[in-house]
Amino acid sequence: MKMKLVVIVLNKTECMEELLEEFAKRSLQGATILESRGMMQELSDEPEMEFLFSLRHMLNPHHRENRTIFMAASESKVPIIVDAVNQVTGGLDQGDTGILFTLPIDSLIGFEVKES
């Protein structure tokens, strides 16, 4: 079975709980969640960069951090994960919602994959 590492950087952190509930409803498991900050968020805290990022802050004052979600999943589950994320967030194609990408997993030890 081909496995993928699904990485979701969720900017719309207010959707986090609902997203995890949606994953559970769809029998998606094995998510690891990290608090994270993007480069632009980090640079905006630098005094010499403050002016350059003030407009961005005015447009989105609540976006100070994001969540990065890692999930090992069979290749067949990836479309289900993408659908769940888009349903809960309103679509990753909307600005400043987040990103999702996958990477191949060559070896996976310590995690049992259940196909349903």
pLDDT per residue as tens digits for the range 70-106? 999 999 999 999 999 999 999 999 988 999 999 999 9
pTM over 0.95: no
| Continuous H helices in 1-116 | 16-25, 39-43, 50-59, 78-89
pLDDT tens per residue, range 43-75 = 655 565 555 555 554 445 555 689 999 999 999
Residue 89 CB burial class (10 angstroms; 0-12, 13-18, ≥19): buried
Question: Tell me, which fold does domain 3-37+65-105 have in CATH?
Answer: Alpha-Beta Plaits (3.30.70)
